[in-house]
Structure 1
Amino acid sequence: MKPLPAALMTLGALLCMPAVHAQHAHGAHRPPSEAPQPGQASSPYAGMQDRAIKALSAQQLSELREGKGMSLALPAELNGYPGPSHTLELADRLELSNEQALRVKTLFAQMKQEAVTAGEAVIEAEQALDQLFKSRQATPDALKAGTTRAALAQGRLRESHLRYHLAVADVLSPAQIAAYSRLRGN
């Protein structure tokens, strides 16, 4: 058998490229248990196109509107700075004094109010960014402005949650902070 000419080998390789590329498409590396079933969409984004704000799930929208933590304060939580919500949940086990409990309740109410306002700003910024693309008005400058607005809103929300962890740490004793960390599994 004669060796194939180089031109034929190159042509063969080029003809195989679309098949190789198709193997690397979204979702091609799913384990067999997660492979789409007959009649099921194969896109990893299936269903997201129906969201009111594409970047936010219904659960995220709800948590933002309710001022929930959404793990935004993990750097504080996991480094020994108790959060107001969990401190109140553990009040008896931490043996909070009446004065401490009242201070933490006040901090929690303030944080919640601030977080709801900041959460609404995140929602508005994400909605504006979504609308920018939906209306086909996205330009590099508009994109920069929109993403900056969204990032700043998210940053303000996170800073708010983290700041209240600092405030609660000032209310508790070192022994209570150690007990909190132990009880929370940190």
Structure 2
Amino acid sequence: METINRKFFGVSVLFAALSGSCFADPTSSYAGQEARELKALLPEDVQSYLAGKGMGMAKAAELNGYPGPAHVLSLAEALVLTPEQKERTTALFKAMETRAIALGQTLIEKEKQLDMAFAEKSVDRSSLERMLQQIAATQAQLRLAHLDAHLQQVRILSLEQIARYNDLRGYGKPTSPTPHAGHAP
């Protein structure tokens, strides 16, 4: 019986300690963010979207042996890109960046509309669903722009250049056991 009482006492003390720590500070981790122009996004994320940055959207490609054009260009000398490869990669990067910037602007605008609807108390279930579908579609298009650039980049590089890229980026042996279609000679 004494053992049961000790266990009950121990559990009671633990529960009291945990309960107290959960309710000790009612301040939200969001405190201070209510003054931001766009509540749902960090200012640095807004800037990255507006600049067409990848923000990790293409990791599925990058970490599986599909180099990204921005990094290929920064490693052009080490990869020994031919003038044609450099020209094609530059064009690919510029097209991706232009598309990403336009989609980033659209995404920011859609997020502002969502924020405004809540600020004006004019949101309802139907309008919320519509706005979220538009945001999700824009996010998908933005990610597609980045991932597709990686998909196209492998058609410009040789298998040796891809292996060198992965080594230079510190990836070791990415999982890309089969050759990609359309490699440069």
Q: TM-score range by the shorter chain?
A: 0.7 to 0.9
Structure 1 residue 175: deviation in Å? 0.7
Cα deviation 1:69-101 (Å, max 9, x = unaligned): 111111011111000100000001111111000
Aligned partner of 1:35 in structure 2 is none
8 Å contact kept, 1:115–1:157: yes
Percent identical residues: 39
8 Å contact kept, 1:73–1:162: yes
Aligned partner of 2:120 in structure 1 is 135
Aligned partner of 1:36 in structure 2 is none
CA distance in 2, matches of 1:150, 1:114: 16
After TM superposition, the score normalised by the length of structure 1 is 0.79
Change in CA separation of 1:139 and 1:20 when aligned onto 2, cut-off 3 Å = farther
1:71 pairs with 50, 53, 56, which one?
56
Change in CA separation of 1:176 and 1:19 when aligned onto 2, cut-off 3 Å = closer
CA distance in 2, matches of 1:99, 1:20: 64
Change in CA separation of 1:128 and 1:99 when aligned onto 2, cut-off 3 Å = same
Query: Secondary structure in 1 aligned to 2:161?
Result: helix
After TM superposition, the score normalised by the length of structure 2 is 0.79
Give 5+ residue unaligned stretches, structure 2.
1-11, 172-185
1:153 pairs with 134, 138, 143, which one?
138
Q: Which runs of 4+ in 1 moved over 6 A?
A: 17-20
Aligned partner of 2:165 in structure 1 is 180
Aligned partner of 2:73 in structure 1 is 88
Query: Secondary structure in 2 aligned to 1:171?
Result: coil
Tell me, yes or no, if structure 1 residue 124 matches structure 2 residue 109.
yes
The aligned length equals 158
What does residue range 2-151 of structure 1 map to in structure 2 within 5 Å? 23-25=21-23, 42-151=27-136
Structure 1 residue 25: deviation in Å? 4.8
Change in CA separation of 1:90 and 1:20 when aligned onto 2, cut-off 3 Å = closer
